[in-house]
Structure 1
Amino acid sequence: MISLEQFFDGAPAVHASAPGRVNLLGEHTDYNDGFMLPVATPQRTTVAIAPSGDDHFHFYADVLDETVTFQRQHHAPQGFGSYIEGCIRLMEEHKVEVPPLRVYTHTTLPVGSGLSSSAALEVAMLRALRELTGAQVDDVLLAQMAQQAEIRYAKVQCGIMDQMASSLADEEHMLFIDARSLEHRVLPLPPGAEIIVMDTGVPRKLAGSKYNERRSECNEAARLLGVQALRDVTDPDAVEKLPSPLRERARHVVRENLRVLEATRGVSAQRFGELMNESHFSLRDDYQVSIEELDVITARLREQDGVYGARLTGAGFGGACVALCEKGRAQAAAQAALERYNAGHRKGRVLIPELSHK
């Protein structure tokens, strides 16, 4: 492990950070031009940068204890360096001159848990570049650049939600996002409620999952329905004429958008929890991105007093889940759910709230 001071042989020029995100509702809707309701996590990724003094980029990720070095005119190998290089190249495309850099990354986000550690890295890196170069980049454009960095350099066909949430959301409010117009507005959490986030202990590798396959299926479903994107379908019955599995994929997206829109109109915590449960069952049955551990951990949460609803969060295939809970009861509910989940020789953990150990 290399310390920050060792890596820079002193102090870096710039520090910047960005949060991960937990999506409360609106899963697999962003790349369908749909609607989402994420919140920011207290866990963050921090990036420190300084000019390298040579013609090479030098990147270090302390969570991996891994270093990447490459010449300015070359490219980083696929891996964490791809995300960082993508941010640099996107800045350059916007006529911002970026010198060869030393880049040190540190994160308190659990990598592979579905809390978008990749978007946090991209947004933190772009914030650092903005500060170092004085680039005129607002927070929405910064999110768009982060998304393109991930698509073009990390080769993940992601939507815009993760980057918008990391760039614009906070921990105390939901951020409503329209993926087509990028309209966004801050909304209060349901009254008298707080969130729980638990990691299944099963890591999720987004690019290696069936994420890109689901995106292709949605594009084909939209084509067969004669619409630009599934967001344009507002009647759930319209998808029933599609062949399987396109019918099920489209059914999830259309109904998920309707769930988000209902939630934005202001619903009780109990109703919000019901919408979360419906979302999970749809992701499990129609979108087929859940796994046994996600189904079990959300079931353990629903059993707890004060929990209104629970669902997987992120792309699925492992990672984390989120629950809505009566305010003041999250610690006890999370601890009890964790004990029952881990009794099956699993290695789950509570990410939010931080558990007190008395």
Structure 2
Amino acid sequence: MNLLGEHTDYNDGFVLPTAIPQRTTVAARRNGGAEFVLHAATLDREARFTLDSQPEEQFARYVYGCLRCLADEGTEVPGMDLHVESDVPMGVGLSSSAALEVAVLRAVRELLGLSLDDVRIAQLAQRAEIEHAGVNCGIMDQMASSLAGTDSMLFLDTRSLARRLVPMPSGTELLVVDSGLSRSLAGSAYNERRAQCEAAASALGVASLRDVDDVKAVESLPEPLRRRARHVVTENARVLRAVEGVDAETFGVLMNASHASLRDDYEVSVPPLDALVALLHAHPSVHGARLTGAGFGGACVALCREGEAERAGRDAVERYGAQGQSGRVLVPRSETA
């Protein structure tokens, strides 16, 4: 999940994700043929394909893309049986596709003895999603899935891929709540937002919005490019402020400002998400909260006082339910789940 730096990765900007405890596991074996047999246990579905043609099933295209990218780079990829199990929530902005891609590539690396480091795994996973799943994504999700841990934040410069682990603010823990609104990146305005950012950068005469340091520089742009660019510039600044080592209260203020920017300038929130975030903002155990992921539904993340996240999540979900919505706490995981 991403704590700060939303929609900045495809603008060569800065991001601050961390890993969730849920996992995706892929088992792979050679089957002696040229066909790939993919069983997705969570979906209870199977797909069969070869490297000569993309499978019709959308879930299989992520796997096909990883295998195809390896083959395109000269790896001899034999036919395989692949079994996927995952408890990473799908369609809620928690990088389930990136987890799948990274797990597939790690399994194939192990099976074939490939010399791919974890950064190269992330790069191949991103390429697979762009070229074969139809999502013109940045590299944040794949880098986080490949390199991040659950007990710290990964500060990543998506242009240079320079990175370092950053401790969480002292005395805090994270809460993730699913809004109950599933969304698909490929079917949303995600690709449109990326195109708008590219148009804004071109109009400003820079390679990407990462190169704009002064938010006043975007004021000359026409709408909606002005607001799109303003979000990216201010969001980068929020990440850089957060990694200076701020306290929990300041980090929460940055999260709240991020959500407002995603809602008003980037326009990727929806009313139920805003309502859930407002409930989290109002809870005494919450320092700050925002949508996480690309938006248009999905999940919210909150920074809470240590030991109080589960209760804050239950309280917010109960009040959210009273508004006619159906949410659920994803992190921390309940001991009875």
SS at match of 1:275: helix
Assess if the C-alpha contact under 8 Å between 2:231 and 2:265 holds in 1.
yes
Match of 1:217 in 2: 196
Following superposition, the deviation at residue 55 of structure 1 comes to 2.6
For the residue of structure 2 that corresponds to 1:279, the secondary structure is helix
SS of residue in 2 equivalent to 1:41: coil
Give the C-alpha shift of residue 356 in structure 1.
Answer: 4.8
Identity of aligned residues (%): 56
What SS does structure 1 have at the residue aligned with 2:19? strand
The number of residues matched between the two structures is 337
Select the residue among 81, 87, 91 that pairs with 2:66: 87
Map 1:91-240; keep pairs closer than 5 Å: 91-240=70-219
Given the alignment, which residue of 64, 67, 79 partners 2:46? 67
For normalisation by structure 2, the TM-score amounts to: 0.98
Q: Tell me how far apart the structure 1 counterparts of residues 63 and 135 of structure 2 sit (CA, whole Å).
A: 14
CA RMSD of aligned residues (A): 1.2
The partner residue of 1:340 within 299, 319, 326 is: 319
Amino acid in structure 2 at the alignment position of 1:299: A
Mind listing any 5+ residue stretches in structure 2 that lack a counterpart? none
- How far does residue 71 in structure 1 lie from its aligned partner after superposition? 3.3
Alpha-carbon shift at residue 73 of structure 1 (Å):
2.7
Q: Distance in 2 between matches of 1:351 and 1:305?
A: 20
CA deviations on 1:93-151 (whole Å, 9 max, x unpaired) are 33222111111111101110100100000000000010001111111111000000000
Deviates more, 1:149-158 or 1:61-70: 61-70
Partner-residue secondary structure (3-state), 2:21: strand
Residue type of the partner of 2:118?
A: D
Checking the alignment, whether the CA contact within 8 Å between 1:87 and 1:145 is kept in structure 2 is yes
> After superposition, what is the alpha-carbon deviation per residue over 1:31-80, rounded to whole angstroms, capped at 9, x for unaligned?
00000000001011111111123331111212222211123433222501
**Letter in structure 1 aligned against 2:80:** L
Larger relative strand fraction: 1
- Secondary structure in 2 aligned to 1:189? coil
Which AA in structure 1 matches 2:25?
T
Aligned counterparts of 1:74 and 1:38: Cα–Cα separation in 2: 34
The residue aligned with 1:294 is 273
Corresponding residue number in structure 2 for 1:246: 225
Cross-structure match for 2:245: 266
Specify the alignment match of 2:261 in structure 1: 282
d(CA) in 1 for partners of 2:80 and 2:318? Answer: 45
2:14 is matched with which residue? 35
TM-score of the pair, normalised by structure 1:
0.92
Would you say the 8 A contact 2:51–2:68 is kept in 1? no
Could you tell me whether the CA contact under 8 Å between 1:43 and 1:108 is conserved in 2? yes
Query: What residue identity is the alignment partner of 2:322?
Result: A
* Structure 1 contact 335–355 (Cα < 8 Å) conserved: no
Who is 1:352 aligned against? 331
Runs of 5+ in structure 1 lacking a partner? 1-21
Contact kept in structure 2, 1:96 and 1:133, CA below 8 Å: no
Amino acid at match of 1:44: R
Residue 357 to residue 130, structure 1, CA distance change in 2 (3 Å): closer
Q: How far did residue 355 of structure 1 move?
A: 3.0
Tell me the distance in 2 between the aligned counterparts of 1:299 and 1:169.
28
